[in-house]
Structure 1
């Protein structure tokens, strides 16, 4: 863990020096059935009522965030970092659709290399754009993988005949590949791709291919500086997985869940006493509000 005094950092929230809370969703704010508990919902609402900006920062697609934003019923528009940093958007309850504030996608040549690699290795690849995600299925096994993934994201992807045809019109924000042993396969993918082509992130059942210089932390920084007028040292961030590394290290205080990856725990300012399934975010926010 960083050498910063966690107790001193924590007290800054109560004195109003943290102006924003950045919340990862899966494995952090959501419980193991990917839901917002009533306790977590109320804690987030209390934080906003105290004048703190609530930001959602997730690897999920933009469209899949709408149900959670609606459930929160916050009074102010909700800024979000989605697609693991390739896109930032604002959910305003007065508007029918979220406003995309910034996006940074893969280059055409990088996307070509990634799609070809997925084809060669039999991976189920999804082509992600701000308002749509498309997939080309070629085997029954891929269909099984995708069904599980869609259940987690609660979002159905559009079936297409070929991802190559999509590339003729618009390069993707990112490409997601469903694969067996994704952490092992991600290491192989990094070695196979041209140097600097993409930032490769592994998760429990998939590999994500992002633009080389993109991550959740950097996009959160741009969102805060350019659109919200908030400095990163005024942000407290919560996360659990490898894709939260940059966000937790750039924030004024980074808090890793008890269920977080060991590497993230080492990089964070502190580790929560609780897991996501024990309402860790709610408990942390309640503690900060009451001090």
Structure 2
């Protein structure tokens, strides 16, 4: 079998409901690599909370974070490293309009950047419950352009926030609401998606598109699943992602859906 580039989303795909990598998932991904295939994490998560999974899977190639906006090799210098950013004035504008937009929290992030501000405690798993004094987002502390802005709002204000962003900044950023229970909108550089990162990986490894297999479950996986020669939706994926994909796993992310599928697809020994 030709060498495959296997692009894996983390949450809802490689990770189970407890946000863990199961023993079987780890074993199968290791088996795939031993058979000569490439495994790459392509996630919406920042690097600060995905490097642990990269290490756990013993990966050594590039990882894609922030939905395609950052490509890097953790723990080392890589000549191909890239990062898409947008103007920090957008963060300052949202800070100034926090009240009227119903914003509870804003986090500005990049490869080596994490600053946040919150009006109310927000239970969004990705963010520390207590901010250190050097992590407070304001006009003085944000000195570089961010790669990502994550904005938590009251549910009743989400549509208003989205239309405000479209109206004012749609030429430079894309704004996408998160799936799941939280009213969270994520901002990234315009036109950058997970497929942007997968294309970089494909060039880096000299893999043709038809030899890319991508796994995902949410709307931020759409471009990657579409770009890949073989796009696979998880059993627990949203309906639009299932409709877009070439195939759907039999099992969900809580029952090793990705591992079982890869075992069959790559004809790995049980």
Regarding TM over 0.5, the answer is yes
What CA distance in whole angstroms lies between the structure 1 residues aligned with 2:205 and 2:36?
Answer: 13
**Over aligned residue pairs, what C-alpha RMSD do you find?**
2.5
| Structure 2 segments unaligned to the other structure (5+ residues) | none
What CA distance in whole angstroms lies between the structure 2 residues aligned with 1:209 and 1:59?
Answer: 11
Partner of 2:21: 36
In structure 2, the CA distance between the partners of 1:218 and 1:48, relative to structure 1 (3 Å rule), is: same
Shift of 1:90: 1.3
Partner of 1:127: 108
What CA distance in whole angstroms lies between the structure 2 residues aligned with 1:46 and 1:118?
Answer: 49
Shift of 1:180: 3.6
What CA distance in whole angstroms lies between the structure 1 residues aligned with 2:162 and 2:151?
Answer: 13
**TM score, norm. by length of structure 1:** 0.81
Residues 1:136 and 2:117 aligned together: yes
1:172 to 146, 151, 164: 146
**TM score, norm. by length of structure 2:** 0.86
Alignment of 1:84-233 (within 5 A): 84-91=67-74, 96-97=75-76, 99=78, 101-118=81-98, 120-121=100-101, 122-137=103-118, 139=119, 141=120, 143-146=121-124, 148-150=125-127, 159=133, 160-167=135-142, 169-181=143-155, 184=159, 187-203=162-178, 204=180, 205=182, 206-225=184-203, 227-233=204-210
| Structure 1 segments unaligned to the other structure (5+ residues) | 1-14
Shift of 1:109: 4.3
In structure 2, the CA distance between the partners of 1:29 and 1:189, relative to structure 1 (3 Å rule), is: farther
Q: Which deviates more, 60-69 or 41-50? A: 60-69
Provide the aligned length of Structure 1 versus Structure 2.
Answer: 261
**C-alpha contact 1:127 1:163 (8 A) present in aligned 2:** no
Shift of 1:201: 1.4
Helix, strand or coil: the match of 2:86? coil
**C-alpha contact 1:258 1:273 (8 A) present in aligned 2:** yes
